[in-house]
Structure formats: structure tokens, C-alpha cells
Amino acid sequence: MLTVNKQSQIQDVSPYLNLETPTIDIIGSPVTALPFEVQINIILEWAMSKVSKVICVANTHMLVESYWHSEFSSVLKNADIVTPDGMPLVWMLKLMGAGTQNRVAGLDILLSLCKLAPLRDIPLFFLGADTVTLEKMRKNLMDLFPNLKIAGMEPLPFRPLTSTEDEAMIKTIHDSGAGIVLLALGCPKQELWMNQHKDKIQAVMIGLGGAFPVFAQSQKRAPYWIRHLGGEWLYRLTQEPSRLFKRYMTTIPAFIWLACKQILNLTLLQYLRL
């Protein structure tokens, strides 16, 4: 059953709106070091102002891809918020000084925005996935959030859009009045797409990837205790082994090695300063 994160309360986030959000470097990428509820309300304030922003929802796979590929690394470094989706990122942030950091996961972001956006009169646009998934999402959204304004729902083809198609999509989103665009193309496609459309789309763009099929109940979400222990990757692997096995077997060991090396280097530096 889908439940709405109860942390999503409206707070004063004005100190962060006109400044860069605080970040901590994790294996070469900046990850936003702010609690879940603060990040959500920054997004809502930006959406009300109709400013073009890019939000990347990061896990270990994304950070390793960023470490390996300089073009993708620049995308994360140019993003306005990089949330710690995976628990390993939360643990790293806590180790490096963000003691109150909690997880800012894609599905929780989706649920919180759907709950709070109607209070601010912010329409949401859903982009990506397929027609069947979007229709299931529409039904669940109407059941759970009857006051939510759905500005539009559009699937995207697997191929790149032509320039004419892209311009038409930008116009569709603009004409819809959406303050937030929720995107599901998978990593790294959705992050590259958002980066390419920064300042072309006057809305907050958020890459949610696997949150769409889970919300549509086409896939199951891991129980809370598994997520809290950092085992969601294993739960997802049991659901999509053919798609995820190679990814996990290459990126998880790489992240563990790079993270341990970073922690050891920081520990050594602190020791030398004594």
C-alpha cells in the first residue's frame, strides 16, 4: 500500500531560495545535505515562482556513473538539488557531518509533492514511462489525491525526439501551466534530458525513474525495514534480475571501493592535522 510521508510539512525555507543549497562531496559529486522536508519545500517554493530547476534523485549507481563519465558528472554538478535517494548516500553524509540527514527518495518525493502541491495550487506534469503506466498512475492519483491538478501526462519514445517534436513538447508543458515536471526515463537519460532543457522549461524538473511503475503498482516497493537497512537494491534485483544484475554487479563494488577510499583519505587528513 502507498503511504504519504508524514514529514512533508510546510516550513520556512526562504534562506535557501536565492542561494546554492548546501552540498557534501561524495566520490566526486555534490549531494544536497538538507533534510527531506526542507528539500521538498524548496522545490514547492521554486515551483510557485515558475523557475527552471533541475533535481536529480541520486543513488550509488548514479554517483558511480558520474565518477566514470565526465559529461554526466557535469550534469550533477550543474543540478540545483541532488537528493540522497539511497541509504549508502545518507550514511556517507552523516559520516561527513550532516548528522540529521535522512533519505530523500523518489517515491517519497512523488507522494509528498502530490499531497502538498494542491495547497500551493501547483499543477504537476508527468513525462515519460508508457501509456499503460501513466493511465494506472492517473487512476491512483485521482483516488489518493483528488485535489491534485494534473497538468498533463505524456509518454516519450525510446528514440531521441526530433527538434520539431522537442519544441512541441516544450510548448505543451509551457501551455499546461505546470510548476513541476516529473520525469521517468531512467538514469542517465532523464538527467541528461533535464540538463538539456534547463531554462527552456520554466518549471522544476525532477527525475524520478523507477517511482512511476511503483506508484502505478506495476512493481512492488521494498518494505520499510529493508529500505532502512539499505537493502532496497537487492529487493529490486529480485523483481528485475535481467535488467539490474549487470548494473549492480559493476556499480555497487565500485561505490564501496570509492567511498571507503574517500573516508580513509578524510580520516588520514584529520589525523595529520592533530
Which tens digit of pLDDT belongs to each residue from 180-196? 999 999 999 999 999 99
Q: Are 166 and 200 in contact (CB under 8 A)?
A: no
Instruction: For residue range 210-240, list pLDDT tens digits in order.
Output: 899 999 999 999 999 999 999 999 999 999 8
Place of cell 497538468: 151
pLDDT of residue 23: 97
More confident residue, 10 or 133: 133
Residue spans per domain, the chain: 14-228
Q: What is the pLDDT of residue 7?
A: 47
CA dihedral 220, 225, 226, 229 (to 10 degrees): 150
- pLDDT in the model for residue 19: 61
Note the pLDDT of residue 16. 65
Q: What is the pLDDT of residues 98-126, one digit of tens each?
A: 999 999 999 999 999 999 999 999 999 99
For residue 3, pLDDT beyond 90: no
For range 16-28, the mean pLDDT: 85
Question: Is the pLDDT confidence value at 72 over 80?
Answer: yes
In sign, the C-alpha dihedral spanning 214, 204, 92, 13 is: negative
Under the banding of pLDDT at 50, 70 and 90, the label for residue 2 is low
Give 251-269 pLDDT, tens digit per residue: 999 999 999 999 999 888 8
| pLDDT of 38 strictly over 90 | yes
Question: Who wins on pLDDT, 15 or 75?
Answer: 75
Residues 142 and 227: beta-carbon distance below 8 Å: no
Residue 155 pLDDT class (50, 70, 90 cuts): very high
Q: Within 10 A of 83 (CB to CB), how many other CB atoms are there?
A: 27
Which DSSP symbol is given to 7?
T
- Taking residues 174-184, report their average pLDDT: 98
Q: Quote the cell numbers at residue 5.
A: 510521508
Q: Is the pLDDT assigned to residue 15 strictly greater than 80?
A: no
- Which pLDDT belongs to residue 209? 84
Burial (CB < 10 A; 0-12, 13-18, 19+), residue 261, is exposed
